[in-house]
Structure 1
């Protein structure tokens, strides 16, 4: 028995109908349209190009607030100075979930002495005239109680001066504090203080903005800018962008808890909201294993509504062939 093989002949390309097609033209048109569409949508819906806020711009825009903040850094009364871990060992500081202090568990990972890191060290590193050098020596020679008395008295005097202007502060025993803060203001307004704080880690090229941001956040100027752009926590700021642009809508649930009690007025709000979101995330992960909850789709039969065409086909009687 012989097997007959069937030979398939390849047809000629000319046997098929053809038409001209300009691939380059189509790609060019598509590229131009997509570019125009991208530029148009970006112009309408993109984030606004806000100028960065730095110590230099802050000190020039609100020198009184900068000086008052510098005094609080020098006296150890600023938010950062009393924050606790991960910046310092302030007793009793740090947020908790019940008896568990989450910040204390992490420990001090970024040690910061606000007086030394934000004021004194930048002044020592910059070329200083004799009055500033003498002021630094006088500060170092004083006892901690004396230093605290100077900064407290000068802070109170700034609070009663017209517009908080250091030039209009009433005479008093402020020690070297006015000289130190005035020189620090000069460094900030020149832009040198930003660079000084960035290079305190010992590296010339630095991308760690922790110190400048902490200094900036201790004042009221930065918070005022945030509130004017509806970015504060009680303004749903976590899910907003500057201006009237929508931000991250998927953060609505996280931000929601900050707007209601008991989170709204709690000193441990961040820790409590974090713990609640961790619990909700765990519940979401475990839904397939939780009796009752895992059966909700079967009880509600929503899936049959969504796939109604499929179930209608399956339930319809078959016609006899």
Structure 2
């Protein structure tokens, strides 16, 4: 379109010379609000998210005591996912990065967590009415790091063939595990009673809002991943844009979760920060569309607006 022709069209559009008809915007808004409200109520009744009960350490330790004790043992020796995560929980690693950009490291440890102390030793230490347990704790803490590692390594290996008993305890093949069977047995009983759920809360307020520690503990085990898989919420299942069960989810997140389905993101330990960087660049490009030569001219080169306002342009042509 030439500059002169564009100028003539803009000049002609300054004053509307076509017909007029009444338009009650209040009436239209009321009708639109009523329709949207009715659709919202109907869709809420038909497709609302199910009110599933939350996962708890009590439920986990009762349904799969072997997995619970195995996870607790990895927390004790620091080999769990949380134990080696790095900031914001500990200094075990630098966290995810892109080149010289280490966001986790720069932001530092804001929620310090010592998995051995917070998830195992401190909770069982609070059970002061059990002399045998307190003696086992003293034995473990008095041992050298090498001895502790030997106990936890042997116990973790034995737990691979452990089984749950009818009373909720576990059966482990005899071996040199030091005081670990006593410590883990007491921790398991404490968890099955529901006490560990409360012991891991960091807030002492009436309304609890910080469930970081219980969630991290469960995430290190298999309970949350198994439940997420059953509900199609894993990252490999496009879980970020899914709702629980087969209900409609957040479809607008398709592009964000798309990157996690392809390499190198699906196999990278830095996937989160890589995807965040890509989405940041794409979002910035979208914001800058009005300022980018070529892109900003697409609406003029692809005259969809003429189809939308075809009546207006038809009137213009008729008036010439």
Normalised-by-shorter TM-score class: 0.7 to 0.9
8 Å contact kept, 2:75–2:120 = yes
| Paired residues for 1:1-321 under 5 Å | 41-91=43-93, 93-162=94-163, 167-199=170-202, 206-317=208-319
Q: Offset at 1:35? A: 9.9
TM-score, scaled to structure 2: 0.83
Q: Offset at 1:204? A: 6.5
**Structure 1 unpaired stretches of 5+:** 1-30
Q: Does 208-217 or 163-172 show the bigger shift? A: 163-172
Q: Offset at 1:168? A: 3.0
Structure (1 or 2) with the larger CA radius of gyration: 1
Between the aligned partners of 2:41 and 2:310, the Cα distance in structure 1 is 42
Secondary structure at 1:293 match in 2: coil
8 Å contact kept, 1:158–1:166 = no
**Structure 2 unpaired stretches of 5+:** 1-33
Between the aligned partners of 1:38 and 1:213, the Cα distance in structure 2 is 33
Are the structure 2 counterparts of residues 206 and 243 from structure 1 closer, same or farther at C-alpha, using a change threshold of 3 Å? Answer: closer
TM-score, scaled to structure 1: 0.83
Q: Deviations over 1:232-281 (max 9, x none)?
A: 00101011111110111111111111111221111111110011111111
Between the aligned partners of 2:190 and 2:163, the Cα distance in structure 1 is 24
8 Å contact kept, 2:90–2:109 = yes
Q: Offset at 1:108? A: 0.9
